[in-house]
Chains A and B, each alone.
Chain A
């Protein structure tokens, strides 16, 4: 192999090595990105399963309660004659 051909061969392989490095960096970047997405999804899944596991209660320890409220009311009025008496009393007080 002549010196010129050797140089050409080395030059070609160098650029090929550069290409590989670029692809590797790109792939590594995507791999890290995917891993990050996966971690986020797993976290979401765990928070889901934690919140959902609360009411399952297979042991039957938890209880459910239904509530309803009723009201009983009454209004007691003054007896008419006592109201009259009160009125007269008031009159006496204001007009002696």
Chain B
């Protein structure tokens, strides 16, 4: 009889313990579900800028990497269509609006009547306006696709009349170029100047050097150099000197081309595409 009573007591104990375990498990389930929901909501808020919440501690990292491309021509520069007058050797067009006519008698004119050689070609009055519109420092580079060489973009055999390499680029701080279209007004001082320890790696510099911090400058600001398949324009993969401050966050990339009188006219639009990359340290 006593044994039977003990068995009943043991059965009750097991039931109580199981009920307790079940209650603990249920509370745990609810708590975990609540935490996952909280975490999920935090993650859903992410829009490129990482922001995380873990329990009682909040960590918010807000960095926005943005490089805008704008200016008078937006994302397209068109030199129009036309031909070179038979009495000329070449026509030179610059995206800063300058036209140079190279006459057959050897005289080159860039003032009134300059379009005589260039006929209906157009010299745009603005280049590609690059601006750091994020809130973190950037390095800037480009890659070129399409007809990136003189031979493929324009062509022609009168090579002695080509200015430079025939298809060239230069970068100028917008405080100097003063092209309109910047967010927050035109720059008032030079961009890509880094500051602090970045100062030695600063200024617009068209280069392919990977050891940028110790190498000499490639092509300094406002100087033309040949268009290639790609270049760093400001900083590199480890140096980010283009500040996001509205007073010095932009530059203009201009394009200069020389169309020779014997450039092949195949009736097909020739173009190259420049993809500008703004890179920031995570």
Is B259 touching A77 in the complex (CB atoms < 8 A)?
A: no
Residues from chain B with Cβ under 8 Å of A63 in the complex: 237, 279-282
Would you give the shortest CB distance from B43 to chain A, in whole angstroms? 5
> Which residue among A21, A37, A42 has the maximum number of chain B CB atoms within 10 Å of its CB?
A37
- Of residues 92 through 135 on chain B, the ones whose CB sits less than 8 Å from some CB of chain A are 95, 121, 128, 130, 134
Per the CB 8 Å criterion, the residue count for chain A at the interface is: 48
- Of residues 150 through 205 on chain B, the ones whose CB sits less than 8 Å from some CB of chain A are 153-154
| B 25-51 binary contact with A (CB < 8 Å = 1; else 0) | 110110011011001100100001010
Q: Which residue of chain A has the shortest Cβ distance to B73 in the bound complex? A: A70
* A-B Cβ contacts below 8 A, count: 189
Is B8 touching A17 in the complex (CB atoms < 8 A)?
A: yes
> Which residue among A13, A24, A64 has the maximum number of chain B CB atoms within 10 Å of its CB?
A64
Q: Is B223 an interface residue (CB 8 A)?
A: no
Residues from chain A with Cβ under 8 Å of B138 in the complex: 66
Would you give the shortest CB distance from B69 to chain A, in whole angstroms? 4
Bound Cα distance A38, B35 (Å): 12
Is A62 touching B22 in the complex (CB atoms < 8 A)?
A: no
| A 13-30 binary contact with B (CB < 8 Å = 1; else 0) | 100110011011001101
Residues from chain A with Cβ under 8 Å of B66 in the complex: 66
* Among A28, A48, A65, contact of B278 (Cβ-Cβ < 8 Å): A65
* Among B63, B264, B274, contact of A70 (Cβ-Cβ < 8 Å): B274
Q: Which residue of chain B has the shortest Cβ distance to A57 in the bound complex? A: B282
Residues from chain A with Cβ under 8 Å of B255 in the complex: 72
Residues from chain A with Cβ under 8 Å of B36 in the complex: 41, 44-45, 48
Bound Cα distance A68, B277 (Å): 7
Would you give the shortest CB distance from A60 to chain B, in whole angstroms? 5
Would you give the shortest CB distance from B229 to chain A, in whole angstroms? 15
Is A20 touching B22 in the complex (CB atoms < 8 A)?
A: no
Q: Is A93 an interface residue (CB 8 A)?
A: no
Bound Cα distance A24, B79 (Å): 86
Is A77 touching B277 in the complex (CB atoms < 8 A)?
A: no
Q: Is B207 an interface residue (CB 8 A)?
A: no
Q: Is B80 an interface residue (CB 8 A)?
A: yes
Bound Cα distance A24, B121 (Å): 92
* Among B15, B33, B81, contact of A27 (Cβ-Cβ < 8 Å): B15
Is A24 touching B84 in the complex (CB atoms < 8 A)?
A: no
Would you give the shortest CB distance from B182 to chain A, in whole angstroms? 15
Is B275 touching A45 in the complex (CB atoms < 8 A)?
A: no
Residues from chain A with Cβ under 8 Å of B50 in the complex: 55-56
* Among A65, A74, A78, contact of B80 (Cβ-Cβ < 8 Å): A74
Residues from chain A with Cβ under 8 Å of B121 in the complex: 74
Q: Is B263 an interface residue (CB 8 A)?
A: yes
Given A74-B80, A79-B83, the answer on whether A66 and B75 have CB atoms closer than 8 Å is no
Would you give the shortest CB distance from B52 to chain A, in whole angstroms? 6
Given A27-B22, A64-B279, the answer on whether A70 and B77 have CB atoms closer than 8 Å is yes
B contacts, CB < 8 Å to A: 4, 7-8, 11-12, 14-15, 18-19, 21-22, 25-26, 28-29, 32-33, 35-36, 39-40, 43, 48, 50, 52, 61, 63, 65-69, 74-86, 95, 121, 128, 130, 134, 136, 138, 146, 153-154, 237, 255, 257, 259, 263-282
List 3 A-B pairs, minimum CB-CB distance, nearest first.
A75-B81, A68-B69, A73-B271
